[in-house]
Each structure stands twice: as structure tokens, then as C-alpha cells.
Chain A
Amino acid sequence: MRDVAVIGVGMSEFGELWKKSLRQLFVDAASAAIEDAGVEKIDSMYVGCMSGGLFVGQEHLASVLADYLGVASIPACRVESACASGGVAFRQGYIEVASGMSDVVLVGGVEKMTDVDGAQATYALATAADQEYEVYHGVTFPGLYAMVANAYMHKFGTTRKQMAHVPVKSHKHGSMNPKAQYPFEITVEGVLESTRVADPLRILDCSPITDGAAAVVICPLETAKKLSKKPLVKVAGTGHSTDTIALHDRDDLTEFAATIRAGEAAFKMAGVGPKDIDVAEVHDCFSIAEICVLEALGFAERGKGGEGAESGETALGGRIPVNTSGGLKSKGHPVGATGVAQIVEVTEQLRGESGKRQVEGAKRGLTQNMGGSGGSAVVHILEVA
């Protein structure tokens, strides 16, 4: 296996982008990544997208997107793993370069979610849960995470107010991100008084419906040394795992086992541990998710994942800054793009390009992207080469 580097990153604006189509969002992000990489051509392409079919009635994205990017003829493949589609696409691209099969690979992620109304979007997102034994009974996605939250609060005594500090922290970071969908700060009281979605979760606990795309260009590290004029960022570790599709089939309803396994694999491959990470982008689709994920990755003790946001440990300037981009909550969550956007944020952090959000001296970062109620998880560790 060859060492692999990220040499180009690009992102569209995230938000409710009525003037932009799925294909245009993708082309914007991919073109930016190719320009940033300074490469003449790409050999192959992977695209993470959860549901082009339900959101815009378009499948066969491999052909559509290669065509509109002006690279039709190269091998291209759409990757679907619900909200983890982008992260899993990145892993497939990594494997293709590391194996020696291709040299320069573009990995993109895209979702166009606002061409449908709220009920249709709720339905499309719910297809990531068990249709026959969860959704059939009226469970929504916020509903599944709300059940995790209730079980968690019951088990560990974490308060509703404590959980509200997670989105408050993310919005503080996102307020400094010009590409974020909601680049403004919110308050704990604001979270607690916002519209009820699925008790105990309120609308300000939930990541939004978002249009957006992100892309990166990867190549062998040795090639990157010749090609790239930017600080080199190496993929040090990758881990990927699955779990039961239905939340109710898990032994512990408050533990994301797929994230635990993916994290362990990535840390082992990179030869480092949680204490060696300077910055992390994690899948905060709901406030409770960030809490459980920080525990699953070893950044917080079991039952104490909610304390970091309140104490400032997970904020910029804290022990382990989490979701400096604003996370899914403030930056936005175009589901297929999210995993790739996390790689974009960490790469920029390691290059020292994050402006006001820069984590000083960041040398190693982690991304964690999760599908469904935790039925898929993928973790990557990037470091300055």
C-alpha cells in the first residue's frame, strides 16, 4: 500500500440554494478542488450521495457528474451509505490510490435536499432507518436520536440543559465560517425554547436540510511532493464499520459500536491515540450524537461526553476543538457531501488555512462520519506529512 495525500480541496456554499442544481453544486466543488490541487487531469472519481433519486429524481450520478464535470470517459462511481456516503466515498478513493490502481482520484460528495418539501425530505432521510420495523411504526430520524438521548439521560443523569451547550458551541464556530448555512450564534435558552421535534430534541438540536457539495483530490504522497506547493496532508489512518440497521437491535442504546470499531481501526493504522489529535470533525447530526461519538472515539469518558461543550474543552482554544467548521448543525448537512466536507475542513486546518477558526499548530486531525442511527461509521485520521 502506498501513502496517500490530500492535495486539493473545494466546497460549494452550504444552504438553501434554489438557483443551483445538484449537478452544478457538484461541478462547483469539484472544479475548486481540481484547481486547488493544480492537476491537469483526474484518473477516476467517487461521489458520495445518499438519495439523488428521492431528492431530485436523478440516479446514475456517475455518468451525470462525470459528463457535467467534462471528464466523461473516466471510471466513476456513486457511493451510498446514507449520511456516511461522503466518508465512505473518500475511503474508496483512498483504497484505489493506496492500492496503486489509480494515481489522481477525485472524491466528491453532494446532496440537493431543498427541491422537495419538509415531509418528503423527512421521508427520504428516514429511508436510512429500517423501513419495515422502525419507520413503519412512525419513527423519524430525529425520533431515533431522541430515543438515544432519553436512554442516555436516564442512564448517566446528563441534563437537557447540558446537551444544549453542544449546538451553542457548534454555532459559535460556524459563525466564523463564511460557507456555513447558519453562520450565527445561538444561546442555551434559545435551544431550550425552540420548536419541539421529537422529545427531548428541539429544532436547534437538529442539523438542517441543506444543499451543498464538497470535493477533494488525492494522489500518492510521493507524487504530491512533486506536484503540490501547499503543505502536504497525508491520510494516516482509515477505519470503517457497520452495525445493526435497527436501533432496537443494539445491546446498548447509548453506544455507537460502529464508531468505536472504525475509530479503533483508524487509530491503530495511524499508530496514534485520541490524545494525539489536535482537531476533530464529528457527525453531530443531533446534539446527542456528538456526545455519544466523543465517547466512542475516546475523546471523553463514558457518560461525560456532554461536559466538553459546557466547559469549553471542545471549543476553539480548548483541549480538543470539535467541529471547528460549525459541524453539521451550523455549517449544514447536505448528507452525501458531509463526510467529504469534514475532510476539507481538517485539511484546511492542517494547512493553516482556516482563518479565524484556525486551531494553532494543528498537526493531526480526525473525521468521523456516520450513517443512519449509527448503522455505518467511517473514521479518518489526517496528518501533516
Chain B
Amino acid sequence: MFPSRYWREIPQRYRLEAGVCKSCGKVGFPPRTKCPKCGGTEFEGTVLPDHGVVKTFTVIHTPPSQFEDQAPYAVGIIELEGGAKITAQIVDCPLDEIKIGQKVRVEFRRIQEDGEAGVICYGYKCVPAA
């Protein structure tokens, strides 16, 4: 991961910054300059809520090289309050206890260690919520 490529996604990865379309209300994550739903071009900045529900998930046994030290690990699609969906790892729980419909909370975590240019990459992961 080259530093410029990593750096420009920081607002989304660290702070869940998103954009609400002023025409149709769709929450775009990451923020866009064209709304994928209505084509609108004006947005209001927002931050995604940090609570959501697991819509689906998998446990990866054959990982890409930069995740080899983490396997097996769970990844899921999480629908956050308000409707935006994200892909994130589900951690801090036994892999065989993860279920569709489970409530989770988004936390700031280390994602990958030592990518192509030695950058340690951070971002969001999900943990079980009470």
C-alpha cells in the first residue's frame, strides 16, 4: 500500500466520514461527487453511526498474503443504523458464534501490517455489541 493511496482514504477509514445526497437522501460511503442513486451532485457531510447488524459473513481460511497471520478470520457485510452498508472484519468473538442478524459495534483497529511499502494500515473492524 503506497502512502498516498493510503492517506487519501483516511477520512473514511478512520472517521467513517460519509455524504448525504441533498436530492434523494442516500447516504454515500465513501463520499462521492455523483450520487449513485439519483445522480445528485450536492452532499452534506456526515459521520456513519457506529452500530449495526451483520447481514452476511464468511470465515476466510485461504487469505491474501498480507492477511496470512490473521487467518482464519471473519469478514462480514454490516448494515449500519441509517442504512449504509460496509464490509469489515468481525473480531473479538469465537468464529463459530457469529450469526446473521447479530448486533455489532464499529471500532478503530489495525487492519493490515506491512503492506507493499511497509505501511501499517488502520481502519474499522466490528465487535459484538451488547
Contacts and interface: CB of A to CB of B under 8 A. Distances in A.
B4 interface: no
A136 B67 CA distance: 10
A249 B55 contact: no
A64 B73 CA distance: 42
Contacts of A200: 58
B57 A147 contact: yes
Interface string B90-120: 0000000000100000000001100000000
Contacts of A197: 61-62
Interface string B32-49: 000010000000000000
A253 interface: yes
Contacts of A147: 56-58, 75-77
B56 A253 contact: yes
A244 B84 CA distance: 14
Interface residues of B, number: 33
A148 interface: yes
Given A133-B30, A134-B87, A248-B85, A199 B62 contact: no
A123 B64 contact: yes
Given A133-B86, A147-B57, A253-B56, A138 B75 contact: yes
Contacts of B65: 119-120, 122-123
A201 B67 CA distance: 19
Contact of A247 (B13, B77, B111, B125): B77
Q: Name A's interface SS.
A: helix
B111 A136 contact: yes
A135 B64 contact: yes
A136 B61 contact: no
Interface string B8-44: 0100010000000000000000100000100000000
B100 A150 contact: yes
Most chain B beta-carbon neighbours within 10 Å: one of A118, A134, A248: A248
A150 B58 contact: yes
B58 A198 contact: yes
A315 interface: no
Contacts of A143: 58, 60, 75
Contacts of B57: 147, 150
11 contacts: A123-B65, A135-B64, A137-B75, A137-B123, A138-B64, A138-B112, A140-B63, A142-B62, A147-B75, A196-B59, A248-B85
Given A119-B68, A139-B60, A195-B61, 19 more contacts: A123-B64, A133-B30, A133-B86, A133-B87, A135-B64, A136-B13, A137-B75, A137-B89, A137-B125, A138-B63, A138-B75, A138-B89, A142-B62, A143-B75, A147-B77, A150-B58, A154-B100, A198-B59, A249-B85
Interface of A: 118-120, 122-123, 126, 132-140, 142-143, 146-148, 150-151, 154, 195-201, 244, 246-249, 253
